[in-house]
């Protein structure tokens, strides 16, 4: 079995200078940059405390505060296998997060996770745009071969966002998760670099 033989090395992402300098990566109406402590605001905390926003986030299991959010961002920025990115609209307005990682550079794949916290921007296609931008980060900037995402079965909006970006259903872990209405399957979707390269950009 993978991961049961002994200590494993944490692979380092070859982060380009543009990311360490906070330069934006744009796709349509959204832009991405590395999340900073300055992004940790009362509004950010309010997203994580909102039952509608957090119903499929693992952060819902713990009380969230300004300090806990700042500690999370510091920890994520210190990791060598993760890019935690702010989703920006209308210039530099922070409306959510998207993360590429953990990344395994031995096998060239990474996880993808995201949420839109600002509910006034829901329904405008920003989630799909952010996922497409993050895929470009993973495939074009980091040279990955595969991105994958795990989703609660009842989180149909998030599944639709991934499907729109070209992700394919690959499997499910039955009743692995406890969702807002009881036990749910954990659905996994994946996207390969070759599929990304041949996808219709529209």
Task: Of 196, 175, 193, 173, give the one whose Cα is nearest residue 184.
Answer: 175
Secondary structure (3-state) at 168: strand
Q: Name the percent of the chain lying above pLDDT 90.
A: 78
**Per-domain residue ranges of the chain:** 17-198
Could you identify the residue written with the tokens 């296609």? 125
| Single pTM value for the model | 0.89
**Strand 109-116's sheet: what is its strand order?**
25-27, 30-34, 83-89, 93-104, 109-116, 146-152, 182-192, 168-179
Give CATH for domain 17-198: 3.40.630.30
pLDDT band, very low/low/confident/very high, at 109 (cuts 50, 70, 90): very high
HSE-CB of 16 using CA atoms within 13 angstroms: 13
């Amino acid at each position: 079995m993978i991961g049961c033989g002994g200590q494993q090395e944490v692979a380092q992402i070859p982060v380009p200078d543009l990311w360490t300098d906070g330069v934006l990566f744009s796709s349509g109406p959204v832009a991405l940059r590395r999340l900073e402590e300055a992004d940790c605001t009362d509004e950010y905390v309010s997203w994580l405390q909102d039952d509608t926003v957090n119903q499929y986030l693992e952060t819902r299991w713990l009380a969230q505060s300004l300090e806990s959010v700042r500690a999370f961002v510091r920890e994520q920025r210190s990791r060598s296998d993760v890019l935690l990115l702010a989703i920006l609209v209308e210039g530099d307005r922070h409306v959510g997060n998207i993360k590429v990682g953990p990344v395994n550079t031995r096998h060239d794949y990474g996880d993808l996770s995201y949420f839109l916290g600002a509910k006034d921007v829901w329904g405008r296609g920003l989630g799909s745009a952010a996922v497409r931008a993050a895929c470009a980060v993973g495939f074009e900037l980091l040279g990955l071969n595969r991105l994958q995402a795990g989703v609660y079965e009842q989180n149909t909006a998030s599944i639709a966002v991934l499907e729109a970006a070209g992700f394919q259903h690959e499997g499910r872990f039955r009743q692995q998760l406890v969702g807002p209405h009881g036990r749910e399957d954990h659905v996994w979707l994946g996207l390969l670099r070759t599929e990304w390269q041949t996808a219709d950009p529209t």
